[in-house]
Amino acid sequence: MSPRSASVNEELRRRSRERILRAAVELVDTRGYEATTLGDIAERAGTARGLISYYFPGKRQLLQSAVHRLMHLTLEAALEREPRTEDGRERLARAIDAILGLAVEHPTLMRTHMAGILQAEGFVRCEEQQRLAFLLRDTLARYGSEDVDTDYPLLRALLMGAVVAVLLPGAPMPWTRLRSELFHRYGLDREAGVPPDGSPSGGTPSPGTPGGPGISRSSPAGSGR
């Protein structure tokens, strides 16, 4: 049997890494961080425990990469869902709704992720985080930002703050109020996007809803920038 080519080996490594990332999300989302071990993740991913250490320095770094992967895949799906649009305001509305939706749908996972970012290890810069950043920066550029390098960190901070507010133990804020504030901040029509609960917004139809209303083209109240 001839040895595998470099490209085949690279593809196998990519798939193995993605299985590990998916397994981490699934287990932490259902069991919590402390109750999930690297051995559990390896078993769920169908891979060797040592392979996780090859890809990631530790469990905290693994989880951050796993959640950033979930975030960029969720955001990408939201931006590209039908009807596809190049309208920057509609795409920004979809982006805000997608991130708020993760906090609503995966509270344990997202609370753990935010807590990890605030620990000593801080923010992990990985390829998954870079993909997420690219999508958000591209969204801002289409929205009409004249200085993406300045506007991107602010958008990131506002979205992180909204996620924390939704998940704050004992004093959570309703996602509807946070959505309204973010939409006002960026001068977006409240009918745009897809709300986290899947209810019709008047903008993009929810996934699985045939037809649906078209994207609102009314003028925003202000630029908000």
| pLDDT-derived band at 207, boundaries 50, 70, 90 | low
Which of 201 and 174 is assigned the larger pLDDT? 174
Distance, in Å, from the CA atom of 133 to the CA atom of 48, rounded to the nearest integer, reads 31
- pLDDT (0 to 100) of residue 206: 52
pTM of the model: 0.84
- Yes or no: say if 25 and 66 are a contact pair by the CB < 8 Å rule: yes
**Exposed, middle or buried, 155 (CB in 10 Å: 0-12/13-18/19+)?**
buried
| pLDDT, average across residues 54-79 | 95
pLDDT interval class at 219 (50, 70, 90): very low
Mean pLDDT of all residues in 30-49:
95
Is the model's pLDDT at 99 over the cut of 50?
Answer: yes
Instruction: For residue range 143-153, list pLDDT tens digits in order.
Output: 999 999 999 99
223 pLDDT tier (thresholds 50, 70, 90):
very low
> What pLDDT score was predicted for residue 126?
86
DSSP symbols for 76-108: HHHHHSSSP---HHHHHHHHHHHHHHHHHH-HH
Task: Name the 3-class secondary structure at 223.
Answer: coil
On whether the CB atoms of residues 4 and 25 are closer than 8 A, the answer is: no
Query: Looking at residue 215, what is its pLDDT?
Result: 28
Phi, psi for 192 (deg, rounded to 5): -80, 170
Distances (CA, A) of 184 to 38, 178, 198: 42, 10, 20
Q: Which residue has the tokens 């993605």?
A: 18
The amino acid occupying position 157 is A
In this prediction, residues 114-121 reach a mean pLDDT of 81
Predicted pLDDT at 214: 30
